[in-house]
Amino acid sequence: MKLFNSLTRNVEEFVTNEPGKVSMYTCGPTVYHYAHIGNLRSYICEDILEKILRFSGYDVKRVMNITDVGHLASDADTGEDKMLKGAKREHKSVMEIAQFYTEAFFADCAKLNIKTPDVVEPATNCIPEFINMIEGLLEKGYAYKAGENVYFDTSKLENYYVFGNQNEDELRVGVRDDVTEDTNKRNKNDFVLWFTKSKFEDQALKWESPWGVGYPGWHIECSCIGMKHLGEKMDIHCGGVDNMFPHHTNEVAQSESFIGHKWCNYWFHVHHLNDETGKMSKSKGEFLTVSLLEEKGYDPLVYRLFALQSHYRKPLTFSFETLDQTVTTYKKLKSRIASIPEDGEADNASVKEWHDKFAEAVGNDCNTAMGLTLLYDVIKSDLNGATKRAIIADYDTVLSLDLFKAPKEDEIDEELVHFVEEKIAERSEAKKARDFAKADAIRDELKARGIIIKDTREGVEWSRE
Ligand code: AMP
Ligand code: ZN
């Protein structure tokens, strides 16, 4: 298995801490609104990554947080709390909003065949863990109190910018005009671990802490939830590419300062889904959701296929035109699979051989497009029907496109007519060539699929059994 690692900016051989086991962490949604299909691109790619690892024989434990507190409108600790904003918009409590949008998120994931991670933990469940880590950071001198908040001191690190080469001097407070408004910060990129002196008098969720009543910053949750369930060493951490800075950079800073050693070995970042105006984002107001796609008559799995056709490390531009092309691709693919005859017995050696080919193809930095190409190769191959079906079922444990599920009625008819007509023409050719055994085999094949044919003076008639 090869993966691009954002830490080294190279495609590397994936080597786990414990042979055969993968500890995997995914940044979960901020549940103040529906997930848009951009967010869901990230979750589809992360789901595929998990399934590829399982397909390759790894035992995976995957953990995801739910951000239900602490994420402010700006990643630089400024602006309104996103959860509070959602609650105000809908005249509900923060907890009601969190519950509603958490459920909506998993409902969308289910429609896209995204598996729920083994552990899902909301940030508000883990306040004692956050306090424990922040106390540790204060003790070790990596954090300081100022203006009644607790901050992480980024100047204490030799290499804060683990994913890039930003120029530190340029970013120091006061050096540039557009630097932070928070004058408590000693360095521009210092970030809040715990807020007590909130600018939001109406902050709904607050907890007792050694530093007074308050609430956690955003980044601390992923470090603590990750360690709570996966221990101090993690194999792989995922998120959208916008999470690289500051979120993941800050996660690494506080986690490694706290434990005193390397935390996570591989970082997997999914590039953005864009629309004509740029990155799709929740704060833009107008955004595309799974429900909206459904209202427009799209099967959500068409969007999954749309995402799998491109590589996760390339930005992807969404348009309904391309989605329509994917509708056709998906329909054709399914009808070709539906018309694979039910003949023979699955040949296990071939199934294994094609399994390994697929593992190698998609195991090359999640090359899902290559995986789809292999799927077409299987369909086109001269393997018997039962073997093809077994291989396709195997591939679908990763692709999760419901490849054997019948499309809607009207679509079946169109495809079925096409299939039957082709078979009848083939049978006529066989008869002309006096190959009656072949002609009978075709008749039987159609019968096995519930199609009865009758030779009449006008030609061949057919009907469903
Ligand atoms: P959020 O709910 O805002 O915390 O984001 C959830 C996930 O979606 C994170 O991993 C983000 O990095 C990711 N994300 C946000 N916008 C996009 C986008 N336009 N395309 C792909 N992923 C995104
Ligand atoms: Zn996170």
Domain residues of the chain, as ranges?
2-270, 280-399, 414-464
Look at residue 457 in the predicted model and tell me its pLDDT.
Answer: 77
Look at residue 283 in the predicted model and tell me its pLDDT.
Answer: 67
State the ligand closest to the CA atom of 275: 1
Does 2-270 match 280-399 in CATH topology? no
Q: Which tokens in the block code for residue 318?
A: 């969404």
Ligand 2: centre distance to CA 274 (Å): 21
DSSP string, 36-95: PHHHHHHHHHHHHHHHHHHHTT-EEEEEEEEB-S--BSSTTS-S-BHHHHHHHHHTS-HH
State the ligand closest to the CA atom of 271: 1
Q: Which tokens in the block code for residue 181?
A: 């408004």
Min mean pLDDT across 107-111, 294-298, 360-364 is at 294-298
* Mutate-to-test residue for ligand 1 from 74, 82, 242, highest number of ligand atoms within 8 A of CB: 242
Pocket of ligand 1 (CB under 6 A): 27, 29-30, 38-39, 41-42, 67, 239-240, 242-243, 270, 272-273, 279-282
- With a pLDDT cut of 70, the percent of the chain lying above it is 92
**pLDDT-based confidence at 285, cuts 50/70/90?**
low
- Average pLDDT taken over every residue of the chain: 91
Ligand 2: centre distance to CA 74 (Å): 15
Look at residue 83 in the predicted model and tell me its pLDDT.
Answer: 86
For ligand 1, atom 5, the nearest C-alpha belongs to 29
Counting from 1 in the atom list of ligand 1, the atom nearest the Cα of 39 is 8
Residue 376 DSSP class: H
Ligand 1: centre distance to CA 248 (Å): 13
Q: In angstroms, rounded to a whole number, what is the distance separating the alpha carbons of residues 245 and 164?
A: 9
For 365-375, the pLDDT digits (tens) are 999 999 999 99
Min mean pLDDT across 13-17, 133-137, 334-338, 446-450 is at 446-450
Look at residue 201 in the predicted model and tell me its pLDDT.
Answer: 63
Fold of 2-270: Rossmann fold (3.40.50)
State the ligand closest to the CA atom of 218: 2
Q: Which helix H or strand E contains 10, and what residues bound it? A: strand 10-13
Does pLDDT of 229 surpass 90? yes
**pLDDT-based confidence at 407, cuts 50/70/90?**
low
Ligand 1: centre distance to CA 149 (Å): 28
Look at residue 276 in the predicted model and tell me its pLDDT.
Answer: 79
DSSP string, 309-367: TS-TTS-EE--HHHHHHHHHHHHHHHHHHHTS---S---HHHHHHHHHHHHHHHTBTS-
For ligand 1, atom 23, the nearest C-alpha belongs to 39
Q: In angstroms, rounded to a whole number, what is the distance separating the alpha carbons of residues 317 and 315?
A: 7
Look at residue 170 in the predicted model and tell me its pLDDT.
Answer: 43
Q: Does domain 280-399 have CATH number 1.10.490.10?
A: no
Q: How far is CA 167 from the centre of its chain?
A: 32
For 242-253, the pLDDT digits (tens) are 999 999 999 999
